[in-house]
Structure 1
Amino acid sequence: MEDDDYSASTTTVVFDRPIPLLRGPIPAGGSEFVLAFRSMDSWAAAFKRCETLLKEQCEEGARIGCAVSASNNCKPPWWRWRGSGDMREREKCEEREFKECCVAAKDKCAGFAQDKCSAALLDARVAVSLASMPEDSTWTNCRARDLLPKKSSS
């Protein structure tokens, strides 16, 4: 006779906790709703997270590209390669080339991340309360770029 185990521990499927919504629906007038960040703090956290993730991914890709580039830039020409070249010189060259490439890529990745996140998030809507008392408050929304401090042009 077969002993089938139908206990809760063997038949229950555990799911990961749901990821909280970045934006939620807020009234936009009449029966219309728009998705908006709940506060400037939640918008700023999303912007920072976006920048951090894109920058990390970009730098990781750049490191791979820099390693290949350093190897190619430091290998001797085919007519001088006899299979036993001075590997210490090549190693020093590769380290130098790799480091220079990674430094340049780091700055480019920071700019790339900021550009991409700005394009995606500066026009995002952020919920704004129009009253100081919570029970009397009405909610509206503004574009994130309109809520950021203006940079002076002096």
Structure 2
Amino acid sequence: MEEYSASATTVSFDRPIPLLRGPIPAGGSESGQYVLAFRSLDSWAAAYKRCEAQIKEQCEEGARIGCAVSASNNCKPPWWRSLGGAVVDMREREKCEEREFKECLVAAKDKCSGFAKEKCSAAFLDARIAVETEVDGLIWLASMPEDSSWWLGSLVQARRNKTNRRARDLLLKQQKQSHATY
């Protein structure tokens, strides 16, 4: 007999992974087109670091395997030595393999760091990041006469528009601001 209870017929799913990027208006809010953008520069930076760490980890794992094979090949005795029935010193070969493996892994880690940075930078520097602007309210405030008492209310009611900028542009702007403060 089949059981039709809630526990037997309910399928549980893993919690959904939150979106890294969300849709925001492409240009102005009146264009009707949307682009996917990171919610903030911080969320972009966190995703970039994670991308870099994952690629570096995968690269280093592959390098470990490659370095082990390479060390074994570099330290094996020549084929002609076994013809005379000579015994191979396994302790010496083991030391050689450890030394070769460590040297190979150090070089590979440096290359993996550069590889991860190169692969992530290409995609992430062109990614879009959501930014807020107050242009409408500030333009309205600037058009008011100086003696107007409305300026305080307009500053509070300044409409915030969501738009987006490329990460490359935001990072350059941030660098310029940090250099200007010194």
| Equivalent residue in structure 2 for 1:147, among 154, 170, 173 | 170
Letter of the aligned partner of 1:99 in structure 2? Answer: K
Secondary structure at 1:128 match in 2: strand
The runs of 5 or more residues in structure 2 that have no matched partner are 135-154
Q: Quick one: distance in 2 between partners of 1:84 and 1:9?
A: 66
TM-score computed with the length of structure 2 as normaliser: 0.77
Q: Quick one: distance in 2 between partners of 1:134 and 1:19?
A: 36
Secondary structure at 2:175 match in 1: coil
For the pair 1:60 / 2:61, whether they are aligned, the reply is: yes
What is residue 32 of structure 2 aligned with on the other side?
A: 31
Q: How many residues align?
A: 150
1:128 Cα deviation from its structure 2 partner: 0.4
Q: Quick one: distance in 2 between partners of 1:8 and 1:83?
A: 72
Matches within 5 A, 1:1-154: 3-28=1-26, 29=28, 30-81=31-82, 82=85, 84-131=87-134, 136-148=159-171, 149-150=174-175
Letter of the aligned partner of 2:4 in structure 1? Answer: Y
Secondary structure at 1:150 match in 2: helix
Letter of the aligned partner of 2:100 in structure 1? Answer: E
Q: Quick one: distance in 2 between partners of 1:36 and 1:8?
A: 40
> After TM superposition, where is structure 1 displaced by more than 2 Å over at least 4 residues in a row?
81-84, 131-136, 149-152
1:84 Cα deviation from its structure 2 partner: 3.2
The runs of 5 or more residues in structure 1 that have no matched partner are none
Aligned Cα root-mean-square deviation (Å): 2.0
Change (3 A) 1:48 1:83: farther
Q: Quick one: distance in 2 between partners of 1:143 and 1:102?
A: 36
Deviations 1:104-151 (A, max 9, x none): 000000000000000011000000011397983111100001111338
Deviations 1:49-97 (A, max 9, x none): 0000000000000000000000000000011134731000000000000
| Greater percentage in helix | 2
Q: Quick one: distance in 1 between partners of 2:131 and 2:76?
A: 60
